[in-house]
Amino acid sequence: MSKRIGILGGMSHESTIKYYDFIHKKYYEKHKDYNYPEIVIFSLNFQKVIDLEHKGDTKAYINYLLEGIQHLIRAGADFIVMSANSPHAVFQELEKQSNVPMISIAEVTIKKAKAEAMKRLLLTGIKFTMKSHFYKAVGKRYGIEIVTPSGKEQDRIDGIIFNELCLGIFKEGSKKRILDIIESYPVDGVILGCTELPLLVEQGDTEMPLLNTSEIHAEAALDFALA
């Protein structure tokens, strides 16, 4: 019997839907039956998460995320994935206080990069993620350098994510702006470090290797559930 997956979602709802969809499709692709793992989703108040990130109120931020984690545990989740990159800035603190295992999006992404012999990666995402150090910390453990776009480029990417992708709006002009940024850096690959970014930019759009964090994370959740 598989483990029950707990997804802490709502950051945003667009990426939460993608996790749910990917896990089921990937399971069927691998096993050709309907014995899908059970999934529990707790959707947080996205605005509250954004406000706490912008205020830098780490204690309140951790406490709010823990509330969601505890709801998932009470609903019978055997382990938890957070369907967003930014809350992984406090992953270690959350993991310590969780009564069930948690899977880090940064850890599984960097492991994949290491397996593909990547040594230097560009991190994209919301400004909070690009300014945080959790990807750099994990990268350092694996001997991988993490670089970030310039301040103006970070503003541009952040605006596209919050004003368009989180609302299900996809513009060709925005795709071109993102591609222009990621193709201008001398790196081995690009971390799509916002789970909304793969909704706009796909591997077929560029020769630059892309690390789709939402799919890597969701597949790691599926594998853990079936282990």
**DSSP symbols for 2-45:** PPPEEEEE-TTHHHHHHHHHHHHHHHHHHHSSS-PPPEEEEE--
Contact at 8 Å (CB) between 37 and 226? yes
Of 35, 46, 36, 37, the C-alpha closest to 8 is: 46
pTM: 0.92
User: Residue 12: is its pLDDT beyond 90?
Assistant: no
Domains contained in the chain, CATH given: 5-104+215-226 (3.40.50.1860), 106-212 (3.40.50.1860)
User: Residue 51: is its pLDDT beyond 90?
Assistant: yes
Alpha helices in the chain (DSSP H): 13-31, 46-55, 58-74, 91-97, 105-115, 127-131, 134-141, 151-163, 172-182, 213-226
pLDDT tens column, 123-167: 999 999 999 999 999 999 999 999 999 999 999 999 999 999 989
